Structure 1
Amino acid sequence: MILLSRSATSAFLLGRQQLWGHRCASAWTPLATAFNAPPSRRINFTRDDVGLFGMPELRSCEGFYLMRDNVETRTQELILEATSDQRSRKMVDIFDELSDSLCKVADLAEFVRIAHPKGKYSQAAEQACISICGVVESLNTHRSLYQALNHVVKYGDKLPSSEVDRHVASLFLFDFEQCGIHLPENERLRVVRLNDYILQLGQKFMNGAAQPSVIPRTQVPEAIRNYFPTSGDNVIITGLCTNAENEQMREAAYRLYLQPSESQEELLRDLLLCRHELARSCGFETYAHRALNGSTMETPEVVRKFIDELSEKLRSRAQADFAIMTQMKRREGGQQSALAEIWDTPYFTTQLRRQSLEEQANEFLPYFSLGGCMEGLDNLLNALYGVRLENTDMEPGESWHSDIYKLSVIHESEGLLGYIYCDFFERAGKPNQDCHFTIQGGKRLPDGSYQMPIVVVMLGLAQPRWSGPTLLSPARVDNLFHEMGHAMHSMLARTEHQHVTGTRCSTDFAEVPSVLMEYFAGDPRVLRTFARHFQTHEPISEDMLKRLCASKHLFAASETQLQVFYSALDQEYHGAAAQQGVSTTETLKSVQSQYYGLPYVENTAWQLRFSHLVGYGAKYYAYLVSKTIASWIWQTYFESNPFNRQSGEKYRAEILAHGGAVPSRKLVANFLQREMTPSVLADSLITEIDTDESKIKDLMVSRI
């Protein structure tokens, strides 16, 4: 039963204001001023720490052991309640409390394990994670608990239940059956073994995918041999060198880094075969059918129709992109017969973006201070939802590091909605990734109050300096808005059950709110509200805005085609191909010839470096679908006015508020008042690509 988540003082400020200019001091809002300086530190005179996230148990790392013991005790109590003939609560409420109890420890411990700088905390958190996994494993074999839930799903609860209650109960049942508890004992044990083996295979494959290629010096062309590090008689290739100006270097890195590996091939074939066998054991035709059960797209057949529709419409548009890349390559190399190759596409995309931006010494950076961007987010959220972000002082012991900010999310009429902890700055030992963590999910409590959601947004920004605040590149601005989109999904949801709150929804819908926020980050009307020079407060020029916004859409067709190719390959691997015994490279060749405009490079095996096959097995398409739905929502509700309060309120009420409590396909169809067919989805994305292409055509022609 998978119950875990569905994953400065006044003197200081005065000094900065004098340094940056008096005009700046009076222009920024309190929120922007706070984020343009390091987080203020409270001196602890009492030494009465409140504990991490304000949890008294975590005044010391030993608190994890207490939390573990408490949840184990509560789990047994809830099992007895669920299996009792005299229960007085709905079954779904008991299961949701069970899920909530486990998630409050597991989600918190998982975050602390990877983010806390003190080893004793991370070690205690890791032990808590292991303990919770043990509790879940015991629940996976609890037949009486399963039978009680199964009876309610099949025949209804003896207590009045809503449609949402029934849907969430069915989700709990499906999660339960993922581990084969509904099967005969010998089949259940086989499912357990398969799950364990799949986990081991996935870990080995990901480790292998990240290893450098070690090539004898004699196999590397002498003209480019010195571009790569060496070890004895070997050359070490650590990546694809996509930004290398030397074409020979790009080509050599592609061919050598992606050489076939027998061990990786065997791991991938075994992984796909075991996933297929697991799916068949659980009653599904293929692993893709199992992975897509309850998703927005529902079945692999619908995904394939969407991919095919989009692929056909993209073909000529992507070829036009490749033709432009070929022109650029010929201008740069002077070879009139040269064609753009697969190792050229990232390089020329970057080159054209630089030319389009006319970027000199990061001219955009001064206009995007961290505080300015947070002010922009605050203004946008207030316009759309009546929500304010308020920088909030933390109590001693509440934070895991001194450079964390805490935001209270406050609605103009509903009051406090929840808390966002902002872990924005790089530090030694911190994971180098931008991501969102749920620490506590929201849910309606028995007394009618609401359990406040608590989340962490993690970025890897440079620390602010005395000479000025942290400045963000345009790409970093997009990432900030993206991750805050996840956080606001959690804040604005108001679900009865925490198991389906906020981002705890289907994979192919969870990215919709965050991708939609990127559309706001790329709209000049939104950027004008906060893109100001951090010293002079001068707004960004219209010319810079035009170049910036246009640059985000360069080569959109070919980039989308690449994502279509990846998605199709993932589907093929987890569909019929898994049982045919064909090499994964042969499958790659076939899929690439059908879905991508540049040919396969002989004696390469790109898929053996594609670690997303492990974490996104049969679900890689999800980002493409999420972007398509986000594009559709943008075009329908926000493109004409990105500050439309009526549209924002409707979007919250009909999409964000529900999390995963309502099937996402139904949410989207009801919100957009149109059936979500593969053709409609494909047309929506093509409309966006064509619109953006017309906006940047003159810009591109003048700079090629």
Structure 2
Amino acid sequence: MSRSSTRATLMTMRHRKLVSTWSPLATAFNAPPSKRINFTREDVGLFRMPELRTFEGFYLLRDNVENKSQDLIAEAISSQRQRKMVDIFDELSDSLCKVADLAEFIRIAHPKNKYMEAAEQACISICGVVESLNTHKPLYQALRKVVEQGDLKPTTEVDQHVARLFLFDFEQCGIHLPEAERLRVVRLNDYILQLGQKFMNGAAQPSVLPRSYVPESIRNYFPTSGENVIITGLCTNAENVQMREAAYRLYLQPSETQEELLRDLLLCRHELAKSCGFETYAHRALNASTMERPELVHEFIDQLSDQLRPRAEADFALMTQMKRKESGQPNVLAEIWDTPYFTTQLKRQSLEEQANEFLPYFSLGGCMEGLDNLLQALYGVRLENREMEPGESWHSDIYKLAVVHESEGLLGYIYCDFFERSGKPNQDCHFTIQGGKRLPDGTYQLPIVVVMLGLAQPRWAGPTLLSPARVDNLFHEMGHAMHSMLARTEYQHVTGTRCATDFAEVPSVLMEYFASDPRVLRTFARHFQTHKPISEDMLQRLCASKHLFAASETQLQVFYSALDQEYHGDMAQKGGNTTETLKAVQNRYYGLPHVENTAWQLRFSHLVGYGAKYYAYLISKTIASWIWQTYFESNPFNRQSGERYRAEILAHGGAVPSRQLVANFLQREMTPSVLANSLIHEIDTDETKIKELIVSRS
């Protein structure tokens, strides 16, 4: 053998050795899913549902569930009922959700129009069934009798809690009211839906303004149409301060149309809440939540705000210092349009973070291997890449994971729709296709979920590489998926993420803590070509960069939460201009002043989807922080803590009130002061670490 051929053989062997260091799971995700041609087998149908071998199967599913609903209604109101009422209601809910959730996902994710249209028709049909149920007084009365007087069959605390949740869902539509008032509630609900859609459409529209409105020096930075300039968003990371300021002032100009829509929306929500017996819409929205009532949210916000103020002021003072140094102007101040820009600048200057320097160390396969290692350590669960049958998926680039427990066996399936494509929604999210529940024969209905991301398609020369923010998003959405997988509830109505809104984000936010811990990242952050581990210096800089200006960022979330509560509380009763309310709340809760002649709330579409619940993410983060500090900060791979977390939190979904779950797990009452102190402790600890790192590098 010649010397050159020997060298080539050695290089090939060395290359194979390097490649083999990835696990089979990582190898699968670092290559695009193979496109298979089906020569022999019949399509099994979407999600292995034989009815969905063609789009017409949605019509069959729709007809079947409509017929089954009628049978279950007849059973529920029968004097000869043989099952617990809650069992019947959960079977009814399960039947409807299996079609509605599947159809809603296919409606937005399937690339073929015929499937999308059939799924949309199924969604409309199921909505019609639900509307008819919401007006079915005999069904409501049968459930109400059980809740108020007890069932004919023996029930548990969980049974009673779930039955109360079903009853509350019923009464949100006003079925318990006199007919005239019920019809008014129906009209209000319809009008609120229309107002919300119009407001969201308006919030996304660009600002079109005469050229004269934009300073001549930056006019060319913006797209134009004839004599007009088009402002499509906030230029938060623009180096030119004039551009940042102009975009903020012009994009957020007040709109009479949006103002009227928002005022009407808030007023209708208030009237709806009053009709249903609640003091404000916030009281209605927080019913059965972790925080339970708006007064506790206000107390939490106030206590957190008071402690944040001096810490946020220090953040803004540092931003002002950076702005003065950059501009050469000794008297300028950091403004609200500067905060994202100087956060990025501090990463570059103090932590010497270069654009895209971390990308090579976070291949998609490597990240999935890291997740797998973590789940095995905490729960004894592994992720197995499974080959799909023909017709099982809606696109060729989908992966299927089986979630397998070391002793319990198969827990469920996660379909990974990770890559961007034309027509696919540009959002990272988790969809429940089938909820888990205990079946009459004692077996468990396995959960099926989809995790959707918007990653770039892998290139032939290498795998998809993730930015640190994308790594966080992957762990976050897989946190939702594992909540569904690890739950073991009697009822699908309360399985996994089907819990209180202000608790649903806790498991996913907690996963972000693992994704930000150097001990976890060391297990999988390796260069996708050389397999060299990420350096300790890069690792420390990466983890520190995630916590820069945490106090001011948290203060901004407190401000948003306080405004949302005010809009759906006192202001809704008093009426008035929403911008005037914003000014007062901003002055109380945020360290930077309101900019005159702007109205950013008219672009704040979360007011529609999270009405009176915007605080939920802040509370979820606080609870996740508390859990992290108590159980995982000392050892993120602690199996005992993982098992306890699953048994006492994840396994219950929404079957036990979340406030009770948290108090039992953390062995302390969940008061506003305890929550606020937990988050402040985290901010202070991270700030100390950042300062130590910056000093060590100077």
**Same fold per TM (> 0.5)?**
yes
Q: State the match for 1:71 in structure 2.
A: 65
1:432 pairs with 2:419: no
The worse-fitting range, judged by mean Cα deviation, of 457-466 and 20-29 is 20-29
CA distance in structure 2 between the partners assigned to 1:209 and 1:40 by the alignment = 41
Q: Aligned partner of 1:655: which letter?
A: I
Q: Which of these residues, 311, 330, 333, is aligned with residue 324 of structure 2?
A: 330
1:287 pairs with 2:281: yes
Q: Aligned partner of 1:667: which letter?
A: L
Q: Aligned partner of 2:50: which letter?
A: P
- What is the deviation of 1:218? 1.6
Q: State the match for 1:369 in structure 2.
A: 363
Q: State the match for 1:36 in structure 2.
A: 30
Secondary structure of residue in 2 paired with 1:21: helix
Q: State the match for 1:256 in structure 2.
A: 250
Q: State the match for 1:515 in structure 2.
A: 509
**What do residues 83-107 of structure 1 show as CA deviations (whole Å, max 9, x unaligned)?**
0000100000000000000000000
The worse-fitting range, judged by mean Cα deviation, of 361-370 and 241-250 is 361-370
Secondary structure of residue in 2 paired with 1:239: coil
Q: Aligned partner of 1:286: which letter?
A: T
Secondary structure of residue in 1 paired with 2:216: coil
Relative distance call for 1:578 and 1:77 in structure 2 (3 A) is: same
CA distance in structure 1 between the partners assigned to 2:152 and 2:163 by the alignment = 14
CA distance in structure 1 between the partners assigned to 2:293 and 2:354 by the alignment = 48
CA distance in structure 2 between the partners assigned to 1:20 and 1:470 by the alignment = 23
Q: State the match for 1:246 in structure 2.
A: 240
- What is the deviation of 1:22? 2.2
Relative distance call for 1:268 and 1:703 in structure 2 (3 A) is: farther
Aligned residue pairs total 688
1:26 pairs with 2:2: no
CA distance in structure 1 between the partners assigned to 2:479 and 2:14 by the alignment = 31
Question: Could you tell me whether the CA contact under 8 Å between 1:355 and 1:703 is conserved in 2?
Answer: no
Structure 2: segments with no counterpart, 5+ residues: 1-10
Mapping 1:427-506, distance limit 5 Å? 427-506=421-500
Name the % identity.
86
- What is the deviation of 1:40? 2.7
TM-score where L is the length of structure 1: 0.97
CA distance in structure 2 between the partners assigned to 1:594 and 1:399 by the alignment = 51
Q: Aligned partner of 2:170: which letter?
A: F
Q: Which of these residues, 84, 87, 105, is aligned with residue 90 of structure 1?
A: 84
Q: State the match for 1:673 in structure 2.
A: 667
Q: State the match for 2:7 in structure 1.
A: none
Question: Could you tell me whether the CA contact under 8 Å between 1:258 and 1:606 is conserved in 2?
Answer: yes
Q: State the match for 1:626 in structure 2.
A: 620
Q: Which of these residues, 135, 141, 147, is aligned with residue 129 of structure 2?
A: 135
Q: Aligned partner of 1:626: which letter?
A: S
Q: State the match for 2:161 in structure 1.
A: 167
Q: State the match for 2:106 in structure 1.
A: 112
Q: Which of these residues, 184, 187, 195, is aligned with residue 193 of structure 1?
A: 187
CA distance in structure 1 between the partners assigned to 2:350 and 2:176 by the alignment = 59
Q: Aligned partner of 2:546: which letter?
A: K
1:540 pairs with 2:556: no
TM-score where L is the length of structure 2: 0.97
Q: State the match for 2:525 in structure 1.
A: 531
CA distance in structure 2 between the partners assigned to 1:431 and 1:105 by the alignment = 21
Question: Could you tell me whether the CA contact under 8 Å between 1:280 and 1:286 is conserved in 2?
Answer: yes
The worse-fitting range, judged by mean Cα deviation, of 410-419 and 464-473 is 464-473
Question: Could you tell me whether the CA contact under 8 Å between 2:479 and 2:507 is conserved in 1?
Answer: yes
- What is the deviation of 1:701? 5.7
Secondary structure of residue in 2 paired with 1:290: helix
Q: Aligned partner of 2:384: which letter?
A: E
- What is the deviation of 1:25? 2.0
CA distance in structure 1 between the partners assigned to 2:282 and 2:347 by the alignment = 37
Q: State the match for 2:688 in structure 1.
A: 694
Q: Which of these residues, 566, 582, 588, is aligned with residue 576 of structure 2?
A: 582
1:408 pairs with 2:402: yes
Q: Which of these residues, 220, 224, 233, is aligned with residue 230 of structure 1?
A: 224
CA distance in structure 2 between the partners assigned to 1:498 and 1:700 by the alignment = 49
- What is the deviation of 1:234? 1.1
Secondary structure of residue in 1 paired with 2:622: helix
Secondary structure of residue in 1 paired with 2:453: strand
**What do residues 166-204 of structure 1 show as CA deviations (whole Å, max 9, x unaligned)?**
000000000000000000000000000000000000000
- What is the deviation of 1:357? 4.3
**What do residues 358-401 of structure 1 show as CA deviations (whole Å, max 9, x unaligned)?**
23352211111111000000000000000000000000000000
**What do residues 46-92 of structure 1 show as CA deviations (whole Å, max 9, x unaligned)?**
24000000000000000000000000000000000000000100000
- What is the deviation of 1:437? 0.2
Question: Could you tell me whether the CA contact under 8 Å between 1:237 and 1:256 is conserved in 2?
Answer: yes
- What is the deviation of 1:356? 4.2
- What is the deviation of 1:415? 0.1
User: What is the root-mean-square deviation in Å for CA atoms of aligned residues?
Assistant: 1.3
CA distance in structure 1 between the partners assigned to 2:330 and 2:388 by the alignment = 63
Mapping 1:46-61, distance limit 5 Å? 46-61=40-55
Question: Could you tell me whether the CA contact under 8 Å between 2:351 and 2:694 is conserved in 1?
Answer: no
CA distance in structure 1 between the partners assigned to 2:510 and 2:445 by the alignment = 26
